[in-house]
Structures are given as structure tokens and as C-alpha cells.
């Protein structure tokens, strides 16, 4: 569900689990404060999952960069007992849909070291890209300062790091859909005899 004010009580627990999970994986993370996470909930820019008893189960939030031209789905985390249950996929999908609803023209990107997240992103239409295709918003990159790998990022001139960059481009998706439609129309033109009404199903030639 989309998080709101009633869920701010989980902000500290979520932040603690984000940090603990990163340490367990031996990877870096751009830390966020409980106040920051709570603000995302209040803005309707977060997705949360709860157990039947009301306890926290999973979370993800969205951020905008470059004056809304870029959106990041960040902080994906699932409580330890529910990992590998498919919950992360459901949360990520809803966060993606929330991003598309709020910012339909924005490019959606992510930086991750988690193979499972890369797989989910690929299924949603993301593609691996170079860092140069991401936002140049300095505020975004400043958020990496709390990551243990920040020195690596800066040593490489912010052109690469341990995270894989992935991007969903709605304009590219639109072009691919238009190309697919044109191919279908061209095939119908080829299969439909001259002088027939292509709109009538009985005139379509099937092979």
C-alpha cells in the first residue's frame, strides 16, 4: 500500500533494518534518517507492506531529481523473515507504478549491488546504463557520501562504482511500442488481400 501519516511509527525500525542489511551483505548504502523516511510517507511517496498483525514487513520510497526529470525508487527493504518470499518484487512493482503515476514523463533509475533487485528491475523494463545517463543533480550524488564505497566513486570521477546503474526510459518504451505497432500493421498489410476491409476479423489471413 502507499504509506501515509499513520505509518511514520515504523520509520526508525525501517532505517535500522536498512543499515543492518547493508552491513550483513558487506555493501554500502546511502543512509537516510528516520525523519527523512517519515517525510516520504507523509508526502505519499513511499510503499509499505505490513503483517496481518500490523507489524512492519517491507518498504520502499521514491525520490525526484533534476526538477522531476528523474525518479529513483530507493531503500527497498524487506523484514528478514520474509526475504525470498516474493514480497520485495511486489513492493518494487508498486513503487514503480506509483512513480509512473506521479511522474509519467520522468526517467526512473536505480543504483544497486543486489542481484535480486537487478532482476526485478529488468522485469520492469529497466536496462543497465553508464553513470553518465543518470541524473547530474548534485544533491543525489551528495547522498552517496554516507556509503562506504564513496571514495571509490569519487576516485573514478563518478563514472563508475560497485553499484550497477539501471534506467527505465518512458520515451524509449513509447518508441518500442510504436515500432511494434508499425510492424503489426505492416504484417497485416502483407497478409490481407487487396480491396478487403482489414478491420473485419474474417478478412484476416492466418497461417
**Tens digits of residue pLDDT in 7-24:** 999 999 999 998 888 777
**Tens digits of residue pLDDT in 34-66:** 999 999 999 999 999 999 999 999 999 999 999
Same domain, 160 and 185: no
Output the CA torsion 71→46→113→35 (10° steps). Answer: 100
Mean pLDDT over residues 141-145, rounded? 86
Q: Predicted confidence band at 29 (pLDDT cuts at 50, 70, 90)? A: low
Q: Predicted confidence band at 195 (pLDDT cuts at 50, 70, 90)? A: low
Same domain, 58 and 35: yes
pLDDT of the residue at 207: 44
Beta-carbon count within 10 A of 24 CB: 9
pLDDT of the residue at 28: 58
Number of domains, the chain: 2
Same domain, 176 and 163: no
Same domain, 108 and 176: no
Tell me which long-range contacts 33-41 makes (C-beta under 8 A, separation of at least 24): 35/11, 37/11, 37/61, 37/75, 38/8, 38/11, 40/3, 41/3, 41/4, 41/5, 41/7, 41/8, 41/11
Q: How far apart are CA 9 and CA 47, in angstroms?
A: 14
Residues in the chain: 207
Residue 190 reports pLDDT greater than 80: no
Same domain, 21 and 112: yes
**Tens digits of residue pLDDT in 67-114:** 899 999 988 999 988 988 999 999 999 999 999 999 999 999 999 888
Q: How far apart are CA 84 and CA 22, in angstroms?
A: 16
Q: How far apart are CA 168 and CA 122, in angstroms?
A: 9
Residue 153 reports pLDDT greater than 70: yes
Q: Which three cell numbers stand for residue 131?
A: 553513470
Q: 123 is in which domain, residue-wise?
A: 5-168
Amino acid at each position: 500500500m502507499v504509506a501515509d501519516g499513520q505509518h511514520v511509527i515504523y520509520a526508525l525500525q525501517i532505517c535500522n533494518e536498512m543499515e543492518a542489511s547493508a552491513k550483513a551483505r558487506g555493501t554500502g548504502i546511502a543512509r537516510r534518517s528516520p525523519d527523512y523516511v517519515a517525510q516520504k510517507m507523509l508526502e505519499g511517496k513511499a510503499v509499505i507492506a505490513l503483517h496481518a498483525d500490523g507489524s512492519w514487513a517491507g518498504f520502499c520510497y521514491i525520490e525526484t531529481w533534476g526538477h522531476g526529470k528523474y525518479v529513483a525508487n530507493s531503500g527497498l527493504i524487506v523484514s528478514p523473515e520474509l526475504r525470498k518470499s516474493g514480497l520485495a518484487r511486489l513492493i518494487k512493482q508498486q513503487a514503480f507504478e506509483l512513480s509512473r503515476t506521479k511522474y509519467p514523463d520522468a526517467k526512473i533509475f536505480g543504483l544497486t549491488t543486489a542481484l535480486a533487485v537487478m532482476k526485478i528491475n529488468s522485469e520492469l523494463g529497466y536496462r543497465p546504463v553508464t553513470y553518465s545517463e543518470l541524473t547530474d543533480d548534485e544533491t543525489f550524488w551528495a547522498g552517496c557520501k554516507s556509503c562506504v564505497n564513496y571514495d571509490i566513486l569519487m576516485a573514478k570521477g563518478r563514472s563508475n562504482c560497485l553499484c550497477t546503474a539501471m534506467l527505465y526510459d518512458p520515451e524509449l518504451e513509447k518508441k518500442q511500442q510504436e515500432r511494434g505497432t508499425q510492424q503489426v500493421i505492416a504484417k497485416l498489410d502483407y497478409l490481407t488481400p487487396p480491396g478487403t476491409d482489414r478491420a473485419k476479423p474474417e478478412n484476416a489471413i492466418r497461417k
